[in-house]
A and B are shown apart, each in its own frame.
Chain A
Amino acid sequence: MRVSNRKKVICLQGVSYSYPGTNNRIVLDNINLDVHAGEMLVLLGPNGSGKSTLARLMNGLLAPSCGQVLVDGLNTADDTSLWQVRKKVGMVFQNPDNQLVAATVEEELAFGMENLGFPPEEMMKRIREISARMQLDELLNFPPHRLSGGQKQRVAIASVLAIEPQALVLDEPTSMLDPAGRREVISELNRLKQSGKTVVLVTHDMTEAITADRIVVLVQGKAAFMGPPRECFSRVAWLQEIGLEIPPAAELARRIRGKGLVVPQDLYHVADWVEYLCQES
């Protein structure tokens, strides 16, 4: 996929960050990163490596201590354009229970639009569209506590999409879900990717990571790797050293090789396996 000559939605230029009151302990160290329109970027890294912090810098929830973050040309450190920034970059968080505000799904979908001052008719129209598209129309009158985890996360995604942001940043949206909920959210993510939305996904799940256009691996606040998934997962020894897994399909290939059988190097995905096995026989 050609991404280099596309429009840059989010630009991080020499960004460093340390949380206030932590004796300037550097959490992010000189990050240079462009998120291009239409790409799916996955952020990987061990616990505490700064992924969530980086995500929060992308829509001005945090302002960089050093360097600057530009969203569609707007500086996130500028208070006057902060609301424009929040409109352009939507955020979905990890815990489905702690990001739904309203008493019903319908109100939840409206919440972001209400904040940004949309007229009621427009809100109604968009709620109809988005709920039909994401199969939420039957849940519109449900209170959040009657939804499953996967449904809650889909509502969170839908309510962010309702304001039609240019990019969507998701911070481990599946890590608190059961397998069914996880599948639900992942298929939603795939649909997003296919529709050409710009997506930044923070995850620990390598099966999700393998579908990315580009992977950034953070280690102790530094961007230690930036490149396509296949290249990332070919560095098995390094990944293990920093405490990351490799995708299950790749792990299977590695173990089979360990038993002395010969299989190709580039089996990272179930689909790769299917292709390989079918052509062999």
Chain B
Amino acid sequence: MSLFSNITLGQYYPGASLLHRMDPRAKILALPLVMIMVLLADGTAGFIMSGIPVLLALLLAGIPPGTYWRGLKPLWAILLIGLAIQSLTYPGEKLWQWGMLSVSREGFILGMKLSYRLSLLILSTMLLTMTTTPMNLTAALEKLLQPLKKFGVPAHELAMMMTIALRFVPTLLEEAEAVMKAQQARGGSVSTGNLNQRLRASVALLVPLLAGSIRRADELAMAMEARGYRGDTGRTRLKQFKYRPVDIIVLTVLIALTIVVAADRWA
């Protein structure tokens, strides 16, 4: 079992649900809309309205709830600490007291709101990455950023960098593990000893990794060039995206909801 294989946060979950089949560009555009909505929401109506699209998407994605749960696990601590800090520090009507510590009603409500918003934000981002392959995500991002090229945004280069980074993460993790094991075999360890020892072990891990990456980058550049890579010029793409009616409907509904939520807040 690989040391790093338990990183599952937001990893792509293969499937053929409505969400999986949506145009990745539409999904990328939907995310900021949902985020704005969640952040603007205030009051019961707003909270319900902003929660519905996320909840619906969660149900429609065809991903077992356990997977979301596991994905959120590393973040529970953050949510709980946020709740605790808000409830304990916000002044207001005392709900509960224990020695120096007291929980205020206003603080508790504020904390709950914060947790609710954070969970929605995290879940909606997770939904995007869990229903879209990294490859489609970068390709769609490139397409969306295309118009900004006029203003000097290096859309293609950014997408290529992301693709290569994603491609090499598993390879680098494997390599890190190999170096770590080699060092453990010789008595060095990143996870034991005092801070100084650990720091040294980390440096001893990072230096070969870095050197390896530079050599790798050199060879990869050569291989890409050999296959006719010359940046964006004259390049076509295998993946072609097409907006379908669902994508338009989803985006329209989200825009409408955002406006309603905003109106509700300032009304």
Contacts and interface: CB of A to CB of B under 8 A. Distances in A.
Interface of A: 56, 59, 61, 83, 86-87, 90-91, 93, 95, 97-104, 106-107, 110-120, 123-124, 127, 143-145, 159-160, 163
Interface residues on B, range: 20 to 34
Interface string B209-238: 000000110011011111111100011111
5 contacts: A83-B230, A102-B167, A103-B134, A103-B166, A124-B238
Given A86-B228, A115-B230, A99 B235 contact: no
Contacts of A91: 223, 226-227
Given A103-B134, A107-B135, A98 B223 contact: yes
Interface string B153-171: 0000000000110110011
Most buried by A among B174, B222, B225, B227: B227
Contacts, number: 98
A145 B163 contact: no
In the A-B complex, the 9 residue pairs with the closest CB atoms: A99-B223, A98-B219, A110-B238, A115-B228, A145-B170, A91-B226, A103-B135, A112-B227, A86-B228
Given A103-B133, A110-B238, A115-B235, A97 B171 contact: yes
B240 interface: yes
Report whether over half of chain B's contact residues are helix, strand or loop; otherwise say mixed: helix
A106 B227 CA distance: 16
Contacts of A61: 222, 225-226
A179 to B, nearest CB: 21
Given A93-B219, A143-B170, A102 B226 contact: no
Interface of B: 133-135, 163-164, 166-167, 170-171, 174, 215-216, 219-220, 222-230, 234-240
Nearest to B222: A61
B176 to A, nearest CB: 13
A115 B229 contact: yes
B15 to A, nearest CB: 13
Nearest to B234: A117
B170 A86 contact: no
B228 A103 contact: no
A100 B26 CA distance: 29
A114 B220 CA distance: 17
B260 to A, nearest CB: 39
A119 B236 contact: yes
A281 B249 CA distance: 82
A42 B68 CA distance: 55
A180 B234 CA distance: 39
